[in-house]
Structure 1
Amino acid sequence: MFVLYTIAHYKNGFNLDYLTILLFFGGFIVYVLAMLIINLITQKNDLTQKSTNTILLFAFLTTILPISLTNADILLSNLLVILGIKSVLSLRNGKYIKSKILDASLCIGVASLAYFWSIGFIITVFLGILFFEPKNYRNWIIPIVGLLVVYIVSNCFTLLFYDSFFIVADYIKPISFSFEGYAYKGGVFSTGTLTICTLFFFAIYLIKFNRKSTKSKPVLKLIISQLLIALTMVIIVSGKNTSEMIFIAGPLAIIGTTYLEMDHGKFIQEINLWVFLLLPFMILLF
């Protein structure tokens, strides 16, 4: 991850000044934290076996999107969304429901300040309430309160430092169905690879879904919902350049682990491993 992250920044252009170096290492810490939290989610919720397959897939799915690795706002937003999803999934244990809903709402609200369209993941918070604690009407109000808190604090910040209000009209971004931003060699390769992986992994996951225990199905539905929201976001976001696809990486890494954990035989497993290791280098180096 560090090697490919460094190559992506080098190809994007790298100036040796203090601010650039700080952003470089800060972005990498955020990037690694997102990977660690994804792995923690899988282990705590028994979504996969005790292995590093999810880490491998997350590294693969993010490094085939080199533009996302050079965008600090995208990396930060992705980390905050993953933290929010972690809080939503932890609702299953029935403890501290309201504080977890608020935590998730705040994380997603702040994530939307870094990258507006991540606001769509607030849907997962409402789905979490629906699956785990729907009868208490107060739970349905908390996500709205969380977003309002983010808006008020943002206004306080802009008033203090810029002497102006945080205007909602400037915050909302336009919708676009144009995919012209993908029309370059690296973009076509990244988009094609990610599309094939999504279709293949998702198909296998749906086949395996009915074999999962009833207790784990709400959590699995939330992971599927996260993936579908990320895919919808990719379709409607304006100014597409493949960096927005990083939101697909987290849930797809969990979903794709189901495929890697299947008994393919040693030879096929070795092929899978080398494909996932070498493809990102091919995209970045060629």
Structure 2
Amino acid sequence: MLSSFFSKSKPINFIIVALYMFVLYAIAYYKKGFTLNYSTLLMFFGGFMAYGLTMLAVNLITQKNDLTQKSTNTIMLFVFLTTILPSSLTNAALLLSNLFVVLGMRSVLNLRNGKHIKSNILDASLCIGVASIAYFWSIGFIAIVFLGIFYFEPKNYRNWIIPIIGLLIVYLISNCFTLLFYDSFFVITEYIEPISFSVEGYAYKGGVFSIGVLTICTLFFFTIYLIKFNRKPTKSKPFLKLIISQLLIAIAIVMIVPNKNTAEMVFIACPLAIIGTTYLEMDHGKFLQEINFWVFLLLPFMFLLF
């Protein structure tokens, strides 16, 4: 039974989920079409490594901070939400950016324990800065760092300066890199991307399908999450508010990025997977639970193969 399998958190669960990820990832690359050469293989395996590490980071965030029960429901949902966006699976830069955003979120949530506050803030800021090098508009998640400071350690004014310092460090290191290898400065005007509200990039069959499924999941999972929010323990509510904020920022980024093609929606996957786990953890009865899991497992195959 799938529901009983994913209700456990054992090494075999992660291995099977990783194999499932790899199959869908390989199908996405195959459908896109690529030639076998060194650079393509490097992007293929590098992208999958970033993808797999993001899955493990999502699981670490949920389990360490008690955002969900001890299970593999969240990572299964994460894989589902990313594989209905095949254009994101073939974009190694976006996968790398998403990995660093999730790692930055992990550091922000670590602020709760009250230890190494400044180092966690700096670490989160550096992660967001690196993520923005891979994909500029992921810099919007720096707002999560400031929200973390607001929720956990707002009184020390030095904490509010650290995120700016973190971004400056990334910019300076980027300049050192470009000077060393390209003999030029990392020009800030070339780094910043314009804002565009155009949705022409979604006007194809696959794009409409991806947006439709993701929109339904977002509205459905988010509504249930808000209904259940007041029943959550008080100590976990700052975490939950940060997850909700991460989702809203991801949606805002999707709305303003230029050259939209659904790949940018990958930032929605992590917070929505955590939010959606609330639905999977509800008692629906065995039959309905099985249907839910089969739909989440088979829908990406139907989309990628047909």
Whether TM exceeds 0.5 here: the answer is yes
Range into which the TM-score falls when normalised by the shorter chain: over 0.9
Range moving further from structure 2, 108-117 or 151-160: 151-160
- Pairs aligned (count): 286
Q: 1:246 is matched with which residue?
A: 266
The CA distance in 2 between the partners of 1:90 and 1:237, in whole Å, is 29
1:14 deviates by: 2.0
The answer for the alignment partner of 2:56 in structure 1 is 36
- What is the distance in 2 between the residues matched to 1:178 and 1:203? 27
The aligned amino acid for 2:190 is D
TM-score, length of structure 2 as denominator length? 0.93
Query: What is the match of residue 133 of structure 1?
Result: 153
Q: What CA RMSD, in Å, does the superposition of the two structures yield over aligned residues?
A: 0.6
Partners in 1 of 2:75 and 2:242 — Cα distance?
20
Return the alpha-carbon distance in structure 2 between the equivalents of residues 13 and 227 of structure 1: 31
Q: Letter of the aligned partner of 1:190 in structure 2?
A: S
Structure 1 segment 144-163 matched on structure 2, within 5 A: 144-163=164-183
Find the aligned partners of 1:180 and 1:278 in 2 and give their Cα distance.
28
Query: Which residue of structure 2 lines up, in the alignment, with residue 24 of structure 1?
Result: 44
Q: Distance in 1 between matches of 2:215 and 2:262?
A: 12
Find the partner of 2:232 among 212, 215, 235: 212
Q: For 2:235, what is the secondary structure of its paired residue?
A: coil
Structure 1 residue runs without a partner (length 5+): none
Q: TM-score, normalised by structure 1?
A: 0.99
Distance 1:162 1:21 in 2: 24
Provide the residue aligned with 1:112 in structure 2: 132
Whether 1:232 and 2:252 are equivalent positions in the alignment is yes
Cα shift at 1:22: 2.0
Structure 1 stretch displaced more, 184-193 or 162-171:
162-171
Q: What is the CA distance between 1:19 and its match in structure 2?
A: 2.0
- 2-structure distance, mates of 1:2, 1:218: 34
29-38 or 155-164: bigger deviation: 155-164
Query: CA deviation digits over 1:211-235, x for unaligned, max 9?
Result: 1111110000000000000000000
1:255-270 aligned at under 5 Å gives the runs 255-270=275-290
Where 2:234 maps in the other structure, the secondary structure is coil
Cα distance, 1:18 vs. partner?
2.0
Measured in 2, the distance between the counterparts of 1:165 and 1:22 equals 27
Task: Report the counterpart of residue 13 of structure 1 in structure 2.
Answer: 33
Q: Could you list the per-position Cα deviations for residues 1-49 of structure 1 after superposition, in whole angstroms to 9, with x for gaps in the alignment?
A: 1111000000111211122112211111110100010001000000001
Tell me how far apart the structure 2 counterparts of residues 19 and 173 of structure 1 sit (CA, whole Å): 26
**CA distance in 2 between partners of 1:27 and 1:151 (Å):** 24
Unmatched tracts of structure 2, length 5 or more? 1-20
Give yes or no for the alignment of 1:76 onto 2:91. no
Helix, strand or coil at the partner of 2:258: coil
Deviations 1:156-194 (A, max 9, x none): 111111111111111111111111111111110001000
Say if 2:226 is the partner of 1:200: no
Please give the per-residue CA displacement for 1:73-114, whole angstroms capped at 9, x wherever unaligned. Answer: 000000000000000001000000000000000000010000
Please give the alpha-carbon distance, in whole angstroms, between the structure 1 residues aligned to 2:42 and 2:175.
27
Question: What is the match of residue 123 of structure 2?
Answer: 103
